[in-house]
């Protein structure tokens, strides 16, 4: 099929969720964008049959990662294979409505200084509720950022595209040119915070990040890790320290490190413990221990 629309390489990761991935692909092909390259990277699923994805959708590029290298590693494998001018990295637990890809491409193409775009994201099971409509600047010492619109009923309050500090990792589009200048996703994190780190580097390279209000995605959220799961808690807490080490320096880094080690981590351990949530308390303790053991580890800076 010939088309005037540019080739978009869609990259997604599968991990033990072949049926979910197939549901996403069904919505992707039904969305109507006529010039797609779809790359599915299976991150060494241990108890699933990812081959059914290729069987049901033989037109995709299907890559079996021999190891589970995490979110960034899986996406980077897909990026290296991508042929499109535009690269759209989406979670496998999303739904892609008609018009979303076109609108994101339009915003990227309109301004060469725009380096990364993200749609409005709503919850799959409650489509009136917003998950993402932009994100605030990361706090200097606490390594915390807040998602705009999170949990709010969508009444049209965010119907204006605008610059944002961060995009949501479940749906982000960029160009090959940006990646050639900035580099691929940082692989030090394994899960969570990597897209925030990437956003900081893209902004430092002189690009804008945009929230695109009239492009929408629906997200099932945390199917791989589970909502409020100990696994998710561990990586979120551990990776605050990695983000700090990679994105702060001098006295700012020292103060931030003391804040995390002496205030944030102890508080995050005590609160779930007092609620009887011992598994999540233990996960924070593990993250705290990891942070102490890797205070001077320079490998996470690469």
pLDDT digits (tens, 9 = 90+) for 188-242: 999 899 999 999 999 999 999 999 999 999 999 755 455 678 898 999 999 999 9
Question: For the chain, what's the residue count?
Answer: 302
**Residue 297 pLDDT level (bands cut at 50, 70, 90):** confident
Q: Identify the three-state secondary structure at position 225.
A: coil
Mean pLDDT of 26-41: 97
- Lowest-confidence segment of 2-11, 96-105, 158-167, 275-284 by average pLDDT: 2-11
Residues 56 and 102 sit within 8 Å (Cβ to Cβ): no
CA distance 256 to 180: 31
Percentage of residues in the chain with pLDDT exceeding 90?
81
Mean pLDDT of 66-92: 96
Which one is predicted more confidently, 297 or 107? Answer: 107
- Provide the token pair at 165: 């500090």
pLDDT at 1: 37
pLDDT at 68: 94
Average pLDDT of every residue of the chain:
93
CA distance 274 to 295: 28
Mean pLDDT of 17-28: 97
Residues 79 and 184 sit within 8 Å (Cβ to Cβ): yes
CA distance 81 to 100: 23
Mean pLDDT of 104-114: 97
**Residue 299 pLDDT level (bands cut at 50, 70, 90):** confident
pLDDT at 3: 59
pLDDT at 222: 59
Q: Which residue, among 101, 293, 73, has the nearest Cα to 190 in the 3D structure?
A: 73
CA–chain centroid gap for 107, Å, is 19
Taking only the tens place, the pLDDT of each residue in 118-165 is: 999 999 999 999 999 999 999 988 888 999 999 999 999 999 999 999
Residues 3 and 83 sit within 8 Å (Cβ to Cβ): no
Q: What is the largest CA-CA distance in the chain?
A: 61
CA distance 93 to 199: 22
Evaluate if residue 300 carries a pLDDT over 90: no
Residues 37 and 29 sit within 8 Å (Cβ to Cβ): no
**Residue 96 pLDDT level (bands cut at 50, 70, 90):** very high
CA distance 192 to 174: 19
Q: Which residue, among 101, 92, 139, has the nearest Cα to 119 in the 3D structure?
A: 101
Domains defined for the chain, CATH in brackets: 8-219 (3.90.550.10), 230-301 (no CATH)
pLDDT at 158: 97
Residues 39 and 65 sit within 8 Å (Cβ to Cβ): no
How many other CB atoms are found less than 10 A from the CB of residue 279? 12
Task: Check residue 299 and report its DSSP letter.
Answer: G
Secondary structure E strands in the chain: 8-14, 36-43, 61-65, 86-90, 94-95, 114-123, 130-132, 162-163, 171-175, 208-219
pLDDT at 229: 86
Percentage of residues in the chain with pLDDT exceeding 70?
97
pTM of the predicted model over 0.85: yes
pLDDT at 60: 98
């Amino acid at each position: 099929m010939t088309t005037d629309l540019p080739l978009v390489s869609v990259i997604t990761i599968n991990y033990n969720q072949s049926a979910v991935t197939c549901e996403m692909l069904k919505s992707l092909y039904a969305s109507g964008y006529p010039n797609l390259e779809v790359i599915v990277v299976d991150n060494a699923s241990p108890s699933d049959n990812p081959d059914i994805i290729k069987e049901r959708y033989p037109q995709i590029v299907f890559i079996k990662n021999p190891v589970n290298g995490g979110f960034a590693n899986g996406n980077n494998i897909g990026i290296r294979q991508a042929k499109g001018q535009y690269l759209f990295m989406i979670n496998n637990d999303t739904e892609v409505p008609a018009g979303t890809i076109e609108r994101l491409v339009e915003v990227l193409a309109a301004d060469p200084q725009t380096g990364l775009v993200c749609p409005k994201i709503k919850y799959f099971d409650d489509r009136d509720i917003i998950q993402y409509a932009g994100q605030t600047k990361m706090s200097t010492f606490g390594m915390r950022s807040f998602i705009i619109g999170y949990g709010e009923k969508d009444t049209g309050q965010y119907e204006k595209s605008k610059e944002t500090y961060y995009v949501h990792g479940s749906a982000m589009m960029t160009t090959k040119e940006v990646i050639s200048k900035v580099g691929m996703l940082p692989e030090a994190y394994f899960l969570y915070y990597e897209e925030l780190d990437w956003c900081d580097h893209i902004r430092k390279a002189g690009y804008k990040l945009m929230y695109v209000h009239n492009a929408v995605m629906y997200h099932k959220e945390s199917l791989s890790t589970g909502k409020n799961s100990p696994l998710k808690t561990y990586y979120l807490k551990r990776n605050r320290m990695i983000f700090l080490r990679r994105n702060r320096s001098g006295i700012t880094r020292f103060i931030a490190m003391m804040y995390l080690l002496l205030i944030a981590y102890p508080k995050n351990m005590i609160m779930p413990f007092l609620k009887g949530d011992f598994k999540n308390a233990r996960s924070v303790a593990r993250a705290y221990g990891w942070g102490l053991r890797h205070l001077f580890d320079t490998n996470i800076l690469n």
